[in-house]
Amino acid sequence: MEYRIEKDTMGEMKVPADKYWGAQTQRSFENFKIGVEKMPVEIVRAFGILKKSAALANFELGKLTEEKLNAICMSADKVISGRLNDNFPLAVWQTGSGTQSNMNTNEVIANYANSVLGKKILHPNDDVNKSQSSNDTFPTAMHISAVIAIEDKLLPAIKQLIMTFLRLERENEGIVKSGRTHLQDAVPIAFSQEISGWRNMLEIDCKNIVESLEGLRALALGGTAVGTGLNAPKGFDELVAKKVSEITGKRFYTAENKFQALTSKNQIVYAHGAIKALACDMMKIANDVRWLASGPRDGLGEIFIPENEPGSSIMPGKVNPTQCEAVTMVAVQVMGADATIGFAASQGNFELNVFMPVIIHNFLQSVRNVADAIVSFDIHCASGIKANKEKMNHNLYNSLMLVTALNPYIGYENSAKTAKKAHKENISLKEACVALGFLTESEFDKVFHPEEMAFPHKD
């Protein structure tokens, strides 16, 4: 491998000749060989957006020449497009402020522009990082990447599954099955009602996530090192937020209090909490689906789900609910990530939180994984759910909890006696009720209508 010599305030460093990063990036690359987790590409893109926005603001405020503005914008656009992603090699496990990733961006943007233009027009710190500090750029990149990931990836995935459930509700209207509570038989429920519960969970999760976005739209940029805005021109914070909004097409605004913006990560915690709630609901939905599909002969077997791949290396013909299992694994990963984010956010000392890389690594992983899992579950499982009407009908009429319909006519205690006699003697509720003398056969038939029990208030 060929190298070139780059310099920083600590001296010279050998840097791969085919890369655009500089000495500070190389120092971090060599000093933090920890794990395999690299700074997320979403953060890299957010930094490109941030640096372009800062350059535009600095230019309008008279702090940057047009020549330097054009050079920064050219390089930043390359970063935003992802075409320079292989120039961002740094580990998540680095300085807790993300300083080295900020400098990685500064160096790549400066060196790429200098290389293209054939002259040293940009300095990483003096030009690309003008009016900024790592302490306000990294939390800003966190918020930009979080909003983009949620709006462009997660929310569309949720809405896609909601539409699938709406279709399944329509297709399964009029099908009544046994309800279940405590994993025990309960009173009847329409299958469409059960599906509507799944659908509304996601609608509420979607609403909660959208509400949590408001705090993420607040940008720390303009606070510089400790929140005072030292070395940033007046009005820079508001102008740069406006530029970020224009570039992304999403609404951002400058944080009202930069001291909070640098040291507190409460907006990220809040937003991830909403994502965790979504993960909890997806866990519940996936579990419901695999319970209802259990069998095919010795389980509930009330629904059919797509058969996607063989389920066993030793049991021929076995097919497992693999999409449900993937969803539940993602869900527990998100719950673990939520604990990590919460602990990390609690560690703000004085004017800065120094757990930011691990916070955004976990946050973006959660958004990415949940969105992908929802889309996969929708395509390969939920979209193909079909009711096993015969099994649902059999289980419905075999349920002892249908006796609940008799409560208004023979009372709770007599209904309980009827259910226990039917269960003990393995006879029908009708046979037990008549044998106990609580109702005649004709009286029983007049009041006992299982399908109607799912719609007690129907006109």
Task: Kindly list the domain boundaries of the chain, sorted by start residue.
Answer: 3-130, 139-177+190-221+252-388, 399-454
Amino acid letter, 121: I
Q: Which helix (H) or strand (E) holds 162?
A: helix 155-171
Number of Cβ atoms within 10 Å of the Cβ of 29? 20
Structure confidence at residue 448 (pLDDT): 95
Q: Which of 312, 346, 423, 449 is catalytic?
A: 312
- Which residues of the chain register pLDDT less than 50? none
Q: Are 89 and 21 in contact (CB under 8 A)?
A: yes
- Residue carrying the six token digits 């937003």: 271
Crossing angle, helix 134-149 and helix 236-248, to 10 degrees? 30
Whole-Å CA distances, 93 to 29, 34, 37, 38:
11, 6, 8, 8
| 312 has catalytic annotation | yes
88-122: pLDDT as tens digits: 999 999 999 999 999 999 999 999 999 999 999 99
Structure confidence at residue 202 (pLDDT): 98
Task: Report CA torsion sign: 194, 195, 196, 202.
Answer: positive
- Enter the tokens of residue 357: 């890389």
Q: Which residues lie closer than 8 Å to 204 by C-beta, 6 or more apart?
A: none
Amino acid letter, 295: G
Structure confidence at residue 26 (pLDDT): 98
Architecture of domain 139-177+190-221+252-388: Up-down Bundle (1.20)
| 313 has catalytic annotation | no
Q: Which of 115, 131, 134, 182 is catalytic?
A: 182
Structure confidence at residue 38 (pLDDT): 98
Q: What is the CATH number of domain 399-454?
A: 1.10.40.30
Is pTM beyond 0.85? Reply is yes
How far from the centroid of its chain's Cα atoms is residue 112's Cα? Answer: 34
Whole-Å CA distances, 379 to 1, 171, 307, 373:
45, 17, 12, 10
Structure confidence at residue 230 (pLDDT): 98
Domain 3-130: what homologous superfamily?
Fumarase/aspartase (N-terminal domain) (1.10.275.10)
